[in-house]
Amino acid sequence: MGLLQEGETIRETYEVERFLGEGAFAEVYRVKHRFLGRQAMKVFKRAGMDLKDIDEMLGEAIMLSRIGHPNIVRVFDANVLQTLRGFCGYFTMENVPGGSLEKFWHSHGTQFVPTETTIDLMKQVCRGLSVAHRQDPPIIHRDIKPQNILVGYEAEGLRARLSDFGLAKKVNPLTLLATAAGTLHFKPPEAFSDTKGDSCSADVWAIGTTLYLLLTDKLPFDFPTDLGWGTKNLFNAPVRPASEFNPDVNEALDRILDKCLAIQPSKRFQNAAELLRALEEWKLGTTPSRVKTLPSEVSKPSLGNRFSSPNQQEAEDMAKQALGLKKQGKLAEAADLMEEAFNKSPDLRDRYAHQVRLWRCGISM
């Protein structure tokens, strides 16, 4: 049983609408604020939290949110609430109906995410992360992965927001390092050393791993199933160039990935701003994509969450409901529901993405 129940009212302000998902430390719900509309509420599973605990856990996230960068998810509120397990901490943030980059990636089924789209999303992530890396001392995220990047449609198109700064930490101002934390498959070699170092360049490694995954539908390194912080000899095999899997990847993009995934931290892009400059200079080749369907031996790996197979009929039903809401003038609700349908059918994204952008502008078409 979850921490919260649908229909429950929280602090006389939030109505719980639905459960969205959970991770190792928290559950996420869509809630409706009494005055401000839909938000996402993240409730920590650990009971007995007080305001001091929340301040320690969310201090960096709230600080970054106040900067107001469009590619960092906004945090609105943080407090404690009574759950079935006792008092737990929570915070509310922007609700992004499309969900995570992982859902967006899975929604493309047996097709690669278009390379231009992938690069655009990664540039947005770098813009948001650059704000954190520019702080004095720098703030590092420490857990960049597709699950912690939210993707939704705005009037101008897809917008990525870097979320879940719960592990964010200021680095030591002298060494520019912090203790490693986060998801092991997205951590660099130094995180598995005795010192378990983390840094801005380690965040770059995580972005590089995410970029490689979106371009190839594979992780750059094959890790054992019993992977742990003390596992050795993980990075001995060279990374296969992404261009071997995806014909839209050119040599210039291979070089960017090589630098992101350099074994030695000093040979990587040193922060998100450096990687952003390289991605902005990159140009897609003039040769059109020759392959739309992945080779049969390649499939999208699981990153810890279970995904149901794409359900075309369910997606079509959701799309019809969204169109019905549009006719009623409920454009925001229609856009939210259509974005959820996109994650069940990539065909719908091609058919209705332009309409969703218009709905976000308040234009009914």
- Say if residue 37's pLDDT is above 80: yes
Domains and CATH numbers, the chain: 10-93 (3.30.200.20), 101-281 (1.10.510.10), 312-360 (no CATH)
The model's confidence at residue 108, banded by pLDDT at 50, 70 and 90, is confident
How many alpha carbons fall within 13 Å on the CB side of residue 126?
26
Residue type, 94: E
Q: What is the pLDDT of residue 295?
A: 47
Q: What is the pLDDT of residue 204?
A: 97
Sign of CA dihedral 200, 180, 79, 333: positive
The label of the residue with tokens 């597709």 reads 146
Residue 111 near residue 294 (C-beta atoms within 8 A): yes
Query: Which tokens belong to 114?
Result: 């278009």
Q: What is the pLDDT of residue 168?
A: 56
SS (H, E, C) the chain: CCCCCCCCEECCCEEEEEEEEECCCEEEEEEEECCCEEEEEEEEEEECCCHHHHHHHHHHHHHHHHHCCCCECCEEEEEEEEECCEEEEEEEECCCCCCEHHHHHHCCCCECCCHHHHHHHHHHHHHHHHHHHCCCCCEECCCCCHHHEEEEEECCEEEEEECCHHHCEECCCCCCCEECCCCHHHCCHHHHCCCCEECHHHHHHHHHHHHHHHHHCCCCCCCCCCCCCCCCCCCCCCCCCHHHCCCCCCHHHHHHHHHHCCCCHHHCCCCHHHHHHHHHHCCCCCCCCCCCECCCCCCCCCCCCCCCCCCHHHHHHHHHHHHHHHHCCCHHHHHHHHHHHHCCCHHHHHHHHHHHHHHHCCCCC
The label of the residue with tokens 């902005």 reads 280
Q: Is residue 237 classed exposed, middle or buried when 0-12, 13-18 and 19+ CB atoms within 10 A define those classes?
A: exposed
The model's confidence at residue 313, banded by pLDDT at 50, 70 and 90, is confident
pTM: 0.85
Q: What is the pLDDT of residue 174?
A: 47
Residue 168 near residue 140 (C-beta atoms within 8 A): yes
Query: pLDDT tens-digit profile of 187-218?
Result: 999 888 867 778 899 999 999 999 999 999 99
Q: What is the pLDDT of residue 286?
A: 47
Sign of CA dihedral 142, 163, 205, 210: positive
Residue 234 near residue 221 (C-beta atoms within 8 A): yes
Give the number of other Cβ atoms within 10 Å of residue 194's Cβ.
Answer: 6
Averaged pLDDT of the chain: 85
Calpha distance 323→302 (Å, rounded): 32
More confident residue, 45 or 328: 328
Angle at 339 between CA 20 and CA 350, to 5 degrees: 145
Query: pLDDT tens-digit profile of 260-298?
Result: 999 999 999 999 999 999 999 998 764 444 444 444 345
2-31 average pLDDT score: 91
Nearest to 258 by CA among 286, 238, 272, 274: 238
Whether omega before 265 lies within 30 degrees of 0, making that bond cis, reads no
Residue 105 near residue 122 (C-beta atoms within 8 A): no
Nearest to 152 by CA among 197, 109, 121, 126: 121
The model's confidence at residue 255, banded by pLDDT at 50, 70 and 90, is very high
Q: What is the pLDDT of residue 56?
A: 73
Residue 95 near residue 40 (C-beta atoms within 8 A): yes
